Structure 1
Amino acid sequence: MAESEVVIDVSENNTPAPTQSQDVDMGGQDESTQPENSAAPSTEQQDEPTGLENIEPELPTRVTFLDYLKSPIVELAVGQGEDITVLHAHQRLLEQSPYLEEKIFALGEGETRRIDLADEDLTATACFLEFLYKNDYFPTLNNSSLETDPDIPVPDSEGMALLRHARVYTLAQRFGVPALATLAHKKIHLTNSTARGEIEYARYVYGHTATTDESIRKPVAAFWATRSHVLRHEAEREFRSMCLEFPQFGFDVLSLVLDAQEKRTQRTETTIGGGRKRPRVSAV
C-alpha cells in the first residue's frame, strides 16, 4: 500500500498560495468590484443635462420649389356675377400670404378648395400669382428700368401703367406680402406718365390706401407740390376736381408748398400771444 503524498507549503509566512480560481491583486482593485459604501450612478443621474446637447441646433427643413408644386391646387374666384374668372395656384405658395393662409385653413374637409375674391382686380391678382412663382411680375424689373409693355399707349394720358402698379401695391398690402408691395412701389417710381395720368394715379391712391400710409401718399403729394406749373397748363381742371373729391390730397399738397416757401424766404416773424403779428403800415 503506497503512502499518501505530502504537499509542503513553501510560500512566505506560510501564506496559502493562490489557486487558479483566485484573483491576484497586482496593485489595484478588480474592475468588477466596487468600493465599499459606493453605488453605481442612478438612471436619473445619467439622464441629467450636461450642457452639450444644443451645440449643434437643428436646422429648419429647406422648402424646395418641388415642395410647392406637390401641394394641392386652390381655386381663386376673382370678380362677381358673370365677370368671375377662376385662377389656380398651389396651396403652399398661396400660404405665403397670411390673408390667404387664414382662408385656406377655414376650408372644411371635403369642400372644394376655392376662395372667393369678389372685390379684387383681376390683373392685380394675376400679377400677385406671377410674383409667387417668379419673384417678379410683368413688366419685369431689369436693374433700374422696366420692361417695355406694348399694351401701354405713349403718352400714357390715362395713367394705365401707374394704376396697374398701384393696384398691385394695395393688393399686396391687403394680402400681407411686403416684398411684393416694395417691388410695386419701386416700379411706380420708374414709370413714365403725364399730368392727367398722375391725377388718375393720385385719385386711386387717396381712394384706396390708409391715411397713415405715407410711403405711397407722400410721394404723390410731393409730385404735385413741386410741379405747380404743370397744374396750371396741363391738368388744372382735373387737379381742382381731385382736391374737391379728396380734401386730404389738397391739404397735403398745400402743406408741402408752404413748407418749401418758408424755407426759401426764411423770414423772421415775431409772435405775440400765440398769433402771428402782421407788419404795420406806417401812416403818413
Structure 2
Amino acid sequence: MADPEAQIPDVEDTPIEDVEMGAAEDGEGAEAEESMLPDIEPDLPARETFVDFFKSPIVELIVGTGEDQTVLTAHQAFLHKSPYFAELLSQSSSRRVDLPHDDLTAVGSFLEYLYNDEYFPKRLHPHSKDSALETDPTLPSPDDNGVALLRHARVYTLADKFGLPALKSLAHSKIHRTGSTARGEMAYARFVYKETSAEDTTIRKPVAAFWATRSHVLRHEADAKFRSMCLEFPQFAFDVLTLVLDQKEKGSGSGGGGGAGPSVVLPVPASGRKRARVSQG
C-alpha cells in the first residue's frame, strides 16, 4: 500500500491575516524581551546654574536696632553657602533673620562675597600675593581711627560667625595690604583682642608682632594709648612682651656661658606704611 503524500500548504493559500498576526505576535515578544532589559542609562543630576540661585526665595536680613536698623535682602540659595544661615533657615519657615549686633558695612561685604566671591575694595591682581587693593575714596587721610583696618577686621569676625573660612582668609589678606597710622593700628589691635578668641592666633599673633618691633613708635606716637591697651587687655601686653624677650634671647645667644651678648636693635619702620606681615592669602 502506498504511503500518503505529505501535503505542504502553498504560501499563497495562507490567509494574509494569519501572516500579519504572526508578525505582530513576534513583535510583541521582542518588545517584551526589550522591556525586561535593565536600564543602563545613568541618572545624571541636573547642573545647578547661576540663574537657579536667583529662583530661590528672598530672605530679609534685619541689621541693627532702633533708628540704625536696616533691612537687606538676599536670595536664600546664596545664603545657604553659609552653614550658619543654612541651619537657621532650615529650622524656621520664616524668611526673616535678625542681626541686631552685626555691623551693617560688614554684612554688606558678606553679601557681596556670597554673590561675587569678592568684596570692595577688591584685589587688583587676585592671583598675586603682592596685589594691592582698589583705592577707596571714602577713607580718611590720614586714617587715624583705623577705619580701613577695622572694616576688614569686622568682615573677618563675621565670616568666623557665619562659618566661611574662605572669606576669613580673604579679609585677613586684605588687612595685610592696608596701611594706617599708629593710632589707627592701636584701634585695630583693641578690636582684635576684644572681638576674637585667645585661640585665634591667625589674627592675634601678627598684631602682637607688629607692636613688638615698634618701640620707637610706642614712645613717640601711641604711648598713652598703648598703656591703656595693656591695662585693658593684659593678654596683649603678655604677647608683645613674650615676642620682645624672644628676640632679645636670640640676639644675646642663649647657648653661651650666660654672658651678655650684643644688644638687639629692633627695626623702626614708619607707622603709616603698609604692614609687612605674613598673610594667609
TM-score scaled by structure 1? Answer: 0.74
The 1:176/1:59 distance shift into structure 2, 3 A limit, reads farther
Partner of 2:51: 66
Q: Which residue of 1 aligns with 2:144?
A: 157
The answer on 1:90 being equivalent to 2:75 is yes
For residues 111-135 of structure 1, give each alpha carbon's deviation from its aligned partner in whole angstroms, at most 9, with x where no partner exists: 4x10000111100000000111111
Whether 2:113 is the aligned partner of 1:131: answer yes
Q: Which residue of 2 aligns with 1:178?
A: 165
What's the offset of the Cα at 1:210? 0.8
Partner of 2:189: 202
Mapped to 2, the partners of 1:8 and 1:157 lie a distance apart of: 124
CA distance in structure 2 between the partners assigned to 1:256 and 1:57 by the alignment: 60
Q: Which has the higher helix share?
A: 2
SS where residue 71 of structure 2 aligns? strand
Aligned counterpart, 2:84: 99
**Distance in 1 of aligned mates of 2:161 and 2:58:** 22
SS of the residue corresponding to residue 142 of structure 1 reads coil
Structure-2 change in CA distance of 1:260 and 1:67 (3 Å) = same
* Amino acid in the other structure paired with 1:148: T
Q: How far did 1:20 drift?
A: 7.3
TM-score, structure 2 normalization = 0.75
Q: CA deviation at 1:229?
A: 1.3
- 1:142 paired to 2:118: no
Residues 1:73 and 1:237: Cα distance change in structure 2 (over 3 Å): same
Partner residue, 1:78: 63
Tell me the secondary structure at the aligned position of residue 251 of structure 1: helix
Matched residue type, 1:129 = L
Which deviates the most, 153-162 or 168-177? Answer: 153-162
CA distance in 1: counterparts of 2:44 and 2:173, whole angstroms: 34
Once the two structures are superposed, what CA deviation does each residue of 1:94-113 show, in whole Å capped at 9, x if it has no partner? 011111111111223xx4x1
Q: Which letter maps to 1:76?
A: L
Amino acid at match of 1:221: A
Alpha-carbon offset, residue 278 of structure 1: 10
Aligned match of 1:6: 2
Could you tell me which amino acid in structure 2 is paired with residue 149 of structure 1?
D
| Counterpart residue number, 2:215 | 228
C-alpha separation in 2, matches of 1:122 and 1:203: 20
Secondary structure of the structure 1 residue equivalent to 2:97: strand
Where does the alignment leave 5 or more consecutive residues of structure 1 unmatched?
10-17, 22-45, 48-52, 271-276, 280-284
Give the letter for the 2:110 counterpart.
Answer: F
Aligned to 1:167: 154
What is the CA–CA distance in structure 1 between the aligned matches of 2:183 and 2:45, rounded to whole Å?
51
Structure 2 residue ranges without an equivalent (≥5): 10-35, 126-130, 261-281
| Matches of 1:278 and 1:7, distance apart in 2 | 135
- Number of paired residues? 228
Counterpart of 2:12 in structure 1 is none
Report the residue type matching 1:107 in the other structure.
S
Partner amino acid, structure 2, of 1:87 = L
Quick check: 1:246 aligned with 2:233? yes
